[in-house]
Structure formats: C-alpha cells, structure tokens
C-alpha cells in the first residue's frame, strides 16, 4: 500500500513538472514578436560605504575636508557617467530581446496599452553601492585560508512588470568585485611575517562592461517572469495546484527550459 501511494505521489509530481514545461514552451511560441517598452531612471543613485574610505582621526577636521578624503579614496561610484552606463545597459537589453524574438518599442508616441504581446518593463530605480567584500584566499600550501578585503560594487534594480495584468514590483541585485591574483607570506624589514596580496583591481571600464551583463540579465529575467506568470494562470484555469516552490528559466540560445531557485527576480508585492 505504501509503495502504491509513493508511486502515485511520484506520478503527480512528474505530471506537474511536465505540465509546467509544456506551458512554458507554449508561452515561448505565443510570445514571439511581442513588443517591450523598457523605461529607466534618468540617473543612478550612488553611494560609497567602503570601510577603508572612512577617514580616521578626523574629528576636528572640516566636513569639506572629510568629504575630499572619501572622494579621493573612492574607486568607482564617483567616476560613473550615468548616461553612458544607462545607454550601454539599454543597448544590451534591446539586443537580448531580439534573441527572445521580442522587440523594443517606445509607447509614449503610440499610446499602446499593455497586453499579452505588449509588455512594460519599468525600471523605476537603480542603486549602485561601492562597499567592502571579504573573500577567502589560499596564500600558501598547507596553510589555512585567509580572509582578505576587496573592493566591490553592488547594482540593485527595482522593476515594475506589466503585460495586461496588475503591475508587480520586483527586485534584483548583482555584485562585481576585485579578484585576488596572488597572495603570499614574506618577511618585512624587521623579519616579521606579513601577508602580501596582489589584486586585479576594478576599473570604471569593468563597470561599463558589467552594464552589458546586466542588460542581458534584466531582459532574460523579465521574459522568465512573464513566462512563469503565464504558467501559473494555466494551472489555475485547469484547477491544478501550482507548485510555488518551482521557477523556470528559458535559454533562447539552446531553446531549453530549466528549473532554478534563486536565479530570478524577487517579487516585492
């Protein structure tokens, strides 16, 4: 009896998985040619909270001088050209839409209402944060790993996605950080053992290259969100229980549907 119940449970799960992927491929076919309106903020919100940028022993120093010290030590956020970053991002987003058989449009002139073939991706807010990331590094054979500081940049984005239904606010964040090329122990001038680390430092050009990656990711994440919402509706239409703990992604290059748990947009409301 137990084996029979287990078999029924497995068959139900397998049936649900097959249905999810079937509905996902249906969405891929039905969405071909859809138009996407993509809106972005005019500027980025930027801040630096790196620990090594906080001035020490400057209690009696004028605020302007403290700010000058922080500015001088900042590596990325004070060098960003917002317009250049956003232009790169939207170009990458548009190019990726084509890989999904979608196109970018601007509806301010056309007055088109969102529906199943007219989508809105409204990125209301982008925040760039420069901070300190701590990474593990093996600096010598047969020794414990060291924890070393590295400069990192976090890009967080808030998006409203609409394709005929109510607006849904979603969130995603990605990190870019320095790599440690080498680390080793050596003797200083008074024969103390000290740790030396060599970094592949972040540059502003690395950050602009990151905008290309983000544009691709945002386009893919948006498609996947609409696809999963479509699957959920198809389940509900048929009175089937939707498996909330599963999420599908679509690879337009391999034309392949696969499961993920964390590689997706996070719904806020």
pTM of the shown model: 0.85
The pairing of beta strand 146-162 with beta strand 168-177: antiparallel
The burial of 77, by beta-carbon neighbours within 10 Å (0-12 exposed, 13-18 middle, 19 or more buried), is given as buried
pLDDT band at 263 (very low <50, low <70, confident <90, very high): very high
**What pLDDT, on the 0 to 100 scale, is given for residue 59?**
61
Rounded average pLDDT over 196-219:
94
Distance CA 48, CA 249 (A): 33
- Report the percent of the chain where pLDDT is more than 70: 83
Q: Is 232 strand, coil or helix?
A: helix
More confident residue, 98 or 9: 98
- Check whether 6 has a pLDDT greater than 60: no
233-259 tens-digit pLDDT: 999 998 888 888 889 999 999 999 999
pLDDT higher for 55 or 215?
215
The pLDDT value recorded for residue 214 is 98
Given this model, what pLDDT does residue 200 score? 86
Sign of the CA dihedral with 200 first, then 202, 208, and 214 last:
positive
Question: Where is pLDDT greater, at 110 or 14?
Answer: 110
Alpha carbons within 13 A on the beta-carbon side of 220: 19
Mean of the per-residue pLDDT values of the chain: 85
Nearest to 225 by CA among 169, 156, 155, 174: 169
Q: Reply yes or no on whether the pLDDT at 172 is more than 60.
A: yes
Band (184; pLDDT cuts 50, 70, 90):
confident
Tell me the mean pLDDT in the region 87-94: 97
The dihedral over CA atoms of 236, 240, 170, 75, expressed in degrees to the nearest 10, equals: -150
User: Under DSSP, is residue 35 helix (H, G, I), strand (E, B) or coil?
Assistant: strand
pLDDT in tens, 128-147: 999 999 988 888 777 778 88
Pairwise CA distance, residues 18 & 231, whole Å: 12
DSSP state of 202: -
- 194 — pLDDT class (breaks 50, 70, 90): confident
Question: What are the residues whose beta carbons fall under 8 Å from the beta carbon of 162, sequence distance 6 or more?
Answer: 114, 119, 120, 122, 168
Q: Give the orientation angle of helix 2-30 with respect to helix 204-237, to 10 degrees.
A: 120
- pLDDT for 188 equals 77
């Amino acid at each position: 009896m137990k084996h029979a119940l287990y078999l029924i449970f497995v068959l139900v799960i397998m049936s649900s998985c097959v249905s999810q992927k079937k509905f996902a491929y249906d969405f891929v076919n039905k969405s071909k040619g859809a138009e996407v309106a993509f809106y972005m903020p005019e500027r980025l919100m930027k801040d630096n909270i790196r620990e090594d940028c906080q001035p020490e022993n400057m209690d009696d120093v004028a605020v302007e001088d403290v700010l000058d010290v922080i500015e001088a030590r900042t590596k990325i956020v004070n060098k960003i050209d917002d317009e250049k970053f956003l232009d790169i991002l939207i170009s990458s987003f548009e190019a990726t839409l084509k890989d999904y058989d979608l196109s970018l449009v601007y509806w301010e002139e056309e007055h088109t209402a969102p529906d199943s073939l007219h989508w809105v991706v409204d990125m209301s807010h982008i925040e760039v944060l420069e901070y300190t990331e701590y990474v593990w590094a093996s600096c010598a054979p047969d020794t414990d790993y060291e924890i070393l500081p590295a400069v990192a940049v976090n890009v967080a984005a808030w998006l409203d996605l609409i394709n005929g239904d109510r607006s849904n606010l979603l969130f995603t964040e990605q990190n870019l950080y320095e790599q440690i090329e080498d680390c080793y122990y050596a003797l200083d001038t008074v024969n103390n053992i000290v740790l030396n680390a060599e970094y592949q430092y972040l540059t502003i050009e690395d950050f602009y290259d990151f905008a290309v990656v983000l544009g691709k990711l945002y386009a893919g994440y948006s498609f996947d969100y609409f696809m999963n919402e479509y699957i959920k509706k198809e389940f509900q239409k048929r009175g089937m229980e939707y498996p909330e703990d599963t999420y599908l992604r679509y690879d337009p290059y391999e034309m392949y549907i696969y499961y993920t748990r964390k590689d997706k947009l996070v719904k806020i409301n």
